[in-house]
Amino acid sequence: MLGGADAAALLGARHADPFAVLGLHAAAGGRWWLRALLPGAAAVSAIDAATGQTLGALARRDPGGLFEGELRGLARRIPYRLRVAWDGGATTESADPYAFPPLLADGDLHALRDGRHPRPWTVLGAHPLVLDGVAGTRFAVWAPNARRVSVVGSFNQWDGRRHPMRLRHDAGVWELFIPEVGAGDLYKYELLDRDGHLLPARADPYAFASELRPATASKVAVPPPATALPAARADANRRDAPIAIYEVHAASWRRADDGGFPSWDALADTLPGHAASLGFTHVELLPPGEHPFDGSWGYQSLGMFAPSARFGPAEGFRRFVAACHARGLGVLVDWVPAHFPADPHGLARFDGTALYEYADACEGWHPDWRTHIYNFGRNEVRDFLAGSARFWVEHYGVDGLRVDAVASMLYRDYSRKPGEWIPNAHGGRENLEAISLFRRINTEIGALPGAIVVAEESTAFPGVSAPVDAGGLGFHYKWNMGWMNDTLHYIHEDPVHRRWHHDKLTFGLVYAFSENFVLPISHDEVVHGKGSMLGKMPGDDWQRFANLRAYYGFMWGHPGKKLLFMGQEFAQPHEWRHDEALPWHLLDDPRHAGVMRLVGDLNRLYRATPALHRRDCEAAGFEWLIGDDAEHSVLAWARRDGEGGIALVACNFTPVPRHGYRVPLPDDAPATWREALNTDSRHYGGSDLGNGEGVLRTHDLPAGERRRTLSLTLPPLATVVLVPA
């Protein structure tokens, strides 16, 4: 008979070791006792799983649903099932969760504890499987400081008494196999903290799918099988490849017919075709993981392993990625390891203690975003974050990650006043734990063929895209935030004042090859009062469009990979609005259609001309021809591919045409050229002033630093690109 203290603890959902008392247990004299806690049951009997014969009835020990009884004649432990007659009249028969031995391997648990498990999602979370012929789901969650953890869900009336879990003490992991629970079932974890207080039910940190907000339950799901990137993608992500990224917020690219969120399958039918038709090489998605608040755009995530339910079943995301690959597009996903929101169903004080976050608010609370900061030094958290990064690449087939808010992770004093931060072990401001974590993640992702990691890092932290073995952080690329800020400042100026800001366009070349840079015109530049790209442009309506076209030409001719946020490819006039679709009707206006035609032609020229991309990240691929003509706001430079290929780019950032403008050329420049692209072309909505479709010939001068020149017509507010004829 079960002791009174154990019985009271079970009935009160306070028992810390349910497997010690529930299930089948041997007693003195070769007797076997079976106990089950089944609130709402009227009668319970044990059935031989092999023969279907009744082994014995269990007596109701307590009205709360505690049953126990001796199974007479049982000589050894055998598989059994519980036949339950419920108070409402229904009868069910199923295997007993407390009949199964520990499930998680000691090696896996030790690896989790030590922070060295390469794929922690295979251990933790909810995994449908078959054990001893019984179909069900194995649940496992890390909560080392909890007194009791139960699985609650749609299958047990969300009752924390029914399925308390077993604690694997070495790793602080709780586990339980629940028969007949499978894909689609909703669940959470119910925890008592170490003082016995009941916490709000938690979603599974390792859930593969979730309910649509505002509901917060996790959903049992099977992720897609692990898959390698297509062979062609590895070459497409290389440093010497053309990379032009189309950044997308999936919820507002288009809307469903009813105004709701589009499904991944609907997006797969339209978005890849649009991006590919414009010559982009990659699509980058704002964080696709599950998140509670639409207005965070996914950057306050609680679904580090779960595509958002906003867009339908999780498997639809894999089909979307495959559709992009089928159109020759890579897929990058924004990924947020810096912080997480404080929603009560999430990670904050998960087991009643600071588990995923730093305990001290000077380390663990972000004052700007009012979010928690991950504890980058804790082994289990490092596995959680590194595992999430790897999971998206391996199981959803994405080409890589763009890591958000890297600077906030690198510096302990980020956005903090003196006295509000804790120095590192050496007294410095760098977060050594985050630096170590980045190196681990980038090494592991970099070992997957073709996969890349891109940093959004806004400071001059050294070696962000340098290899780990050379002392760097190991990112493949870094967003060039300085270039973005400087050039947008310049282009916002009225042309009459630009002569005083010429350095804003040239200074970026001082450091352009210190990292592997991406030039980003991202979502952050077209929200929160910053205006759209078209809205930033000065002048009358004609000048605004011409300025934008000239700026895009400057950007695509400049060293560095390219990124453009959706809507800016057709000059959306207002700021991005996350809760409505892009204004696609603007394409009926030839001015907007012309800008989109230009973006497509820029991408195609960039991809087809090795001189414009092969040495994007190398100083040897760039040469100033005119960098100091501030008086006329003119710049010109040469791009080289390292194999003899060359292209010329010239920009005129005033509305004054320049006829017969002489551009000095390198001595090895070819004698004949042609205009490959002119942002002032009538095809794009310009005045169609330029250098025609014929051949341009160089002129040799008798003396001077450069003896060869090219006489050009520079259209007003325009960029021209020339290639050898």
Q: Which residues are catalytic?
A: 404, 456
Contacts of 663 (CB under 8 A, 6+ apart): 625, 626, 636, 648, 650, 709, 710, 711, 712
**Cβ-contact 424, 414 below 8 angstroms:** no
CA distance 387 to 414: 26
What is the torsional sign of CA 401, 604, 606, 660?
A: negative
CA distance 13 to 463: 53
What would the DSSP string read from start to end of 34-80? EEEE-TTEEEEEEEETTT--EEEEEEEEETTTEEEEE-TT--S---E
Angle between helix 264-277 and 315-326 (nearest 10):
20
CA distance 46 to 57: 6
Angle, alpha carbons 81-86-92 (nearest 5°): 35
Closest listed residue to residue 155, CA positions, set 223, 204, 68, 94? 94
DSSP lists the bridge partners of residue 722 as: 648, 675
**Cβ-contact 282, 332 below 8 angstroms:** yes
> What distances in angstroms separate CA 387 from CA 72, 304, 337, 374, 448, one per listed residue?
49, 9, 11, 14, 13
User: Strand 66-70 and strand 54-62: pairing?
Assistant: antiparallel
CA distance 598 to 553: 9
Residue 508 backbone dihedrals phi, psi, to 5 degrees: -60, -25
DSSP lists the bridge partners of residue 115 as: none
What would the DSSP string read from start to end of 672-694? EEEEEEETTSGGGTS---S--SS
**Cβ-contact 305, 335 below 8 angstroms:** no
